[in-house]
Structure 1
Amino acid sequence: MKNYLLFCCLCILSLLAGCSGAKKYLKQGIAFEQSRMYLEAANSYMEAIRRNPRKTEAQMGLKRVGERVLDDYLSEVFQAHANGQHRETVYAFLKAQAFQQQVAQHSVQLRIPPTHRQYFEESKGIYLAQRYQEGTKKLLEEQFDEANNIFEEILSIDPNYKDVKKLKQTSTYEPIYREGNRLMNEEKYKQAFYKFDQIYRNLPDYKDVRQLREYCRRKAMLTVSVLPVIPGNYNNRPYAESLRGRIINRLVNNKHPLIEVVDRDNIDKFLNEQQLGMTGVVNEGTAAEAGKLLGAKAVLAARIINVSIEQTPLQAVNKIAYEAYKVKVTDTTTNKTVYEVRYRKTNYTEYQQSKTVEVSVQYYLISSETGKIIFSNIARQSSSDHIHYATYRGDYKNLYPGSDVGVNTSSSARKELYNLFTAKRQLNSTQGMLDPLLERIAEQCVNNVIHYVETEYEN
């Protein structure tokens, strides 16, 4: 009930504040109107209506000054048309029409005479035909920016005028298309791909951009083979296999257009045939050789430097608490029986334990062509877990915290104690802690590959 009343009060205050603002803008509108500043008056009346849609005085005022403003705009239309100024006629009418639509949003209707619409249509036909001719001329002269500006103007006035939409596509995308072809002829396939891709994303059927985009993509593609991760020691072998799988999955699922992963089964088959064990393919030479034989331009290799798992023993400490209980007592004055809460000292047990898992991995990308390391980095990730809980032989809901000095009955202290009895009692599993760390390392590794492809790699 209290919340409902509070909500009502807030609504009333908000409404009063809106009404107060509406009155302010109404007064401003009246002052502007008296000073014959009709456009300013119209804006003030519209703000008053926005703040209080039921402000009929503001709507009446907007009707009065709106007609004056519209008349001024329509006079411009008439004058421009009479003087054969077709561009000025078009824009004067559009200004009048925009004002009419703006006022209509505040439930005030203004009328534009059919004669002025006729003036607009006549001038629009002449003006757009002129601009169309200018735009097509600029397009033939390959002045694409100028043509594009003209076509944009035509479409802003008449979105369906002749074939301007198609012409604008040419003025927009032809310069990009030509730049893509230039880069492709210079064998700068990555840059060419991005040019063609820019067109493809917006207009996939423009000329032969689909085929050119795919051709440049294949030429610019960085094919990567992901070698088995070197575990460092026998205990780390499951983590090494897991990390490799995560790296491959991230590379594949990222779906970067210029990165392709060599089939994992082929890599494993090749390594077995060449009798290169998990500790064999570690130097640049053998890794580059593997990349060449697999048809990969680069080889991604990694080794686990360290997997550290530290877990403290479970520590148990007895703590003092006070158990509440009730006793029946008789009030000597009223001779009535009442229950009195008393506290008896007791003990409960608190437990604490923690675990920290750390993983360090070195990863590097090697060029199959040169055998040189393209980049190398070390990823370190760690995670910690901690448990702190309590047990009691009786009902912990009767317990209060305390010390040898006495009981503490504050609600915050009691809540803190209760939380210990409902806290979790098992540390997270080591595997459960390791999995996110390996995933983050794989993400870091793949992000480095993507960054290289987008910033440094050239075909």
Structure 2
Amino acid sequence: MKLFRIPTFRPPTLILFTILILASLQACNGSKAFVKRGAKMEKAGFSDQAADLYYTAVVKKPTNPDALAGLKRTGQIVLGKHIATFDESVAYNLRESALEAWHDAEAWDEKLEGVGVDLAFPEAKRVTYDMVKNAHLDESYREANILLEKEMFDEALKEFDAILLLNPNYQDAPERRNVAFCEPRFRIGVHAQERERFREAHAAFDELVSTDSDYKDAAQRLSDILEAGQYTVALVDFKNGSSQLNLEIKIQSMVEQALMNSKDPFLKVVDRESLALILQEQTLGMNGLTSGGDVEIGNMLGAKALLKATITTCDHRQTGMTSSYQTGYEQFKVERVNEKGKKYFETKYRQVQYREFTQEASVDMTCTFKFISTTTGEVISSNTISSHASDNIRYITYGGNQAKFYLARQFGNGPDLTGRKKRDRLLSSRQAIRSAEALTVDAGLDLASQIQSSIEQELLTLVP
């Protein structure tokens, strides 16, 4: 039996040195360290940087008195700078600059209040701020309306947004802003609708209606576009060429669900119940139709296209469970006595055996589908697609003390002391392979997704 020795005893001087290093590293990033840096910046006249450092110190330790005092001191200076910029901008009639400076001052005051530092905010100047703001709003409102009258909608929208940011209820700015947003989209939608560019029209009216459903007749136009551009698809005649019983029924259901979940607003699917009922009423079956059967079915269902598919193969493969004995290591300790007569424990590792299990399984499926126009009876598109679903398991078992158990190093001899996560994962891994039925479902869902993508791509051309 091979033993590997790793002593756990550490000389006192080494332990003390390690503790000192860790303490110094923590001190470098502690509240006191940031206070010291802030004090240096404050002494050098960099009050903004000093305030940021004091702020960090307070965040790290909210009860640090030096940090709180430093932040209050330098924070007041920073606030004073913002107010000075405000006063200067007011003197030069720079309204936007004045408002920006005031808002910066308010934001800074709120930030420090959030960590328990109250500054002396010059509330007496708020009257001046209100006067500047109202004058700025009046001027901006006039400019926004001029832009709107000139039908410069994007520019007007920006102006109205800026106004509403300062005062959400300023005169009729909300209504005027709504016109600036909705009118260009309404015009784009009408123009596209007249030219039967359904998708462009839908995008414009959909964005408009989501903002204001009562704007002119946008909602009705959106409904009209969806109706005019609607492309109905019926799933018929799914066949099974594989050895899996009733697989065509499962795949047809998956494809139907995938198409129903499509994000394409113009795609509509005739569900199987409606399809079966109509065909039954017309005494037509899924087979034995006339040569013009596709057109007949389309006329009956109001469908513009039929989707037919054949599952050609569905192969399931699964290996047997393989197991093998592997070499690992188990930790144990041996009591020793050092030169000074003190006892300590030496860590060693003995080789042990554990079992590793592996298994693999997969399903491969192929499908051929046709997308057929019911107007002409022609095949719009035809394709053969394939899907693959697989699973594998790998786990280990060990009959000894799992907490003391280690895997072997990948290279060289001895235990892999850094591989505990891998060990724990293998010990707790799933031990049962997924069933053929579950993998078939995965492969089928992948096929359905591919068919959905193909149909959606065709619809981009069929419904412009």
TM-score by length of 1: 0.72
Which digits, 9 at most, give the CA deviation of each residue in 1:161-200, with x for residues without a partner? 2332332222223222211111011111122112111223
Amino acid at match of 1:194: A
Pick closer, same or farther for the CA change 1:277–1:146 going to 2, 3 Å: closer
- Give 1:214 shift: 1.2
The correspondence for 1:245, drawn from 253, 258, 280, is 253
- Give 1:56 shift: 1.9
Pick closer, same or farther for the CA change 1:368–1:29 going to 2, 3 Å: same
After the TM superposition, which residues 365-384 of structure 1 pair with which residues of structure 2 at under 5 Å, given as runs? 365-383=371-389
Pick closer, same or farther for the CA change 1:287–1:236 going to 2, 3 Å: farther
- Give 1:41 shift: 1.9
After the TM superposition, which residues 84-95 of structure 1 pair with which residues of structure 2 at under 5 Å, given as runs? 84-95=93-104
- Give 1:122 shift: 1.1
Which digits, 9 at most, give the CA deviation of each residue in 1:99-151, with x for residues without a partner? 22222223211122232111101111111111111112211211111111111
**1:440 counterpart residue number:** 446
User: For residues 179 and 296 of structure 1, what CA distance do their matches in structure 2 show?
Assistant: 30
Pick closer, same or farther for the CA change 1:107–1:260 going to 2, 3 Å: same
Amino acid at match of 1:200: V
**2:310 counterpart residue number:** 303
* Secondary structure of residue in 2 paired with 1:205: coil
Amino acid at match of 2:257: N
Deviates more, 1:35-44 or 1:135-144: 35-44
Pick closer, same or farther for the CA change 1:153–1:15 going to 2, 3 Å: farther
After the TM superposition, which residues 41-440 of structure 1 pair with which residues of structure 2 at under 5 Å, given as runs? 41-232=50-241, 238-254=246-262, 256-269=264-277, 271=279, 273=282, 275-278=284-287, 286-308=293-315, 357-383=363-389, 431-440=437-446
* Secondary structure of residue in 2 paired with 1:161: coil
Pick closer, same or farther for the CA change 1:64–1:232 going to 2, 3 Å: closer
1:457 paired with 2:449, answer no
Which digits, 9 at most, give the CA deviation of each residue in 1:349-374, with x for residues without a partner? xx999876443211121222343333
Please report the RMSD computed on the Cα atoms of aligned residues, expressed in angstroms. Answer: 4.2
Pick closer, same or farther for the CA change 1:166–1:17 going to 2, 3 Å: farther
Amino acid at match of 2:137: L
Which digits, 9 at most, give the CA deviation of each residue in 1:312-355, with x for residues without a partner? 8x8999x9xxxxxxxxxxxxxxxxxxxxxxxxxxxxxxx99987
Which digits, 9 at most, give the CA deviation of each residue in 1:389-438, with x for residues without a partner? 9xxxxxx989xxxxxxxxxxx9xxxx9xxx9xx965xx876545433333
Identity %: 26
User: 2:27·2:33 contact (CA, 8 Å) conserved in 1?
Assistant: no
* Secondary structure of residue in 1 paired with 2:308: strand
Pick closer, same or farther for the CA change 1:118–1:15 going to 2, 3 Å: farther
- Give 1:254 shift: 4.3
User: 2:231·2:463 contact (CA, 8 Å) conserved in 1?
Assistant: no
Pick closer, same or farther for the CA change 1:18–1:179 going to 2, 3 Å: farther
Deviates more, 1:70-79 or 1:303-312: 303-312
- Give 1:226 shift: 0.8
Pick closer, same or farther for the CA change 1:16–1:54 going to 2, 3 Å: farther
* Secondary structure of residue in 1 paired with 2:74: helix
- Give 1:295 shift: 1.5
The number of residue pairs the alignment matches comes to 392
User: 1:364·1:377 contact (CA, 8 Å) conserved in 2?
Assistant: yes
Pick closer, same or farther for the CA change 1:249–1:75 going to 2, 3 Å: closer
Pick closer, same or farther for the CA change 1:232–1:121 going to 2, 3 Å: same
User: 1:77·1:116 contact (CA, 8 Å) conserved in 2?
Assistant: no
User: For residues 256 and 184 of structure 2, what CA distance do their matches in structure 1 show?
Assistant: 38
User: 1:379·1:441 contact (CA, 8 Å) conserved in 2?
Assistant: yes
* Secondary structure of residue in 1 paired with 2:462: coil
Which digits, 9 at most, give the CA deviation of each residue in 1:21-51, with x for residues without a partner? 4334323322222222222222222122223
Pick closer, same or farther for the CA change 1:27–1:387 going to 2, 3 Å: closer
Pick closer, same or farther for the CA change 1:458–1:18 going to 2, 3 Å: farther
User: For residues 99 and 356 of structure 1, what CA distance do their matches in structure 2 show?
Assistant: 61
Amino acid at match of 2:461: E
**1:402 counterpart residue number:** none
Amino acid at match of 1:380: S
TM-score by length of 2: 0.71
- Give 1:222 shift: 1.3
Which digits, 9 at most, give the CA deviation of each residue in 1:212-262, with x for residues without a partner? 1111111111110111202347x6662222222222233234474221112
Amino acid at match of 2:368: Q
Amino acid at match of 1:294: L
User: 2:48·2:74 contact (CA, 8 Å) conserved in 1?
Assistant: yes
Amino acid at match of 2:196: E
Pick closer, same or farther for the CA change 1:356–1:84 going to 2, 3 Å: closer
User: For residues 315 and 40 of structure 1, what CA distance do their matches in structure 2 show?
Assistant: 65
Pick closer, same or farther for the CA change 1:377–1:35 going to 2, 3 Å: same
Amino acid at match of 1:142: E
Pick closer, same or farther for the CA change 1:45–1:355 going to 2, 3 Å: closer
Query: Which structure carries more relative contact order (alpha carbon 8 Å, separation 6+)?
Result: 2
Pick closer, same or farther for the CA change 1:452–1:198 going to 2, 3 Å: farther
Amino acid at match of 1:51: K
Pick closer, same or farther for the CA change 1:386–1:53 going to 2, 3 Å: closer
- Give 1:153 shift: 1.6
User: For residues 68 and 434 of structure 2, what CA distance do their matches in structure 1 show?
Assistant: 67
Structure 1 or 2, whichever has the larger Rg, is 1
Amino acid at match of 2:199: K
Amino acid at match of 2:127: Q
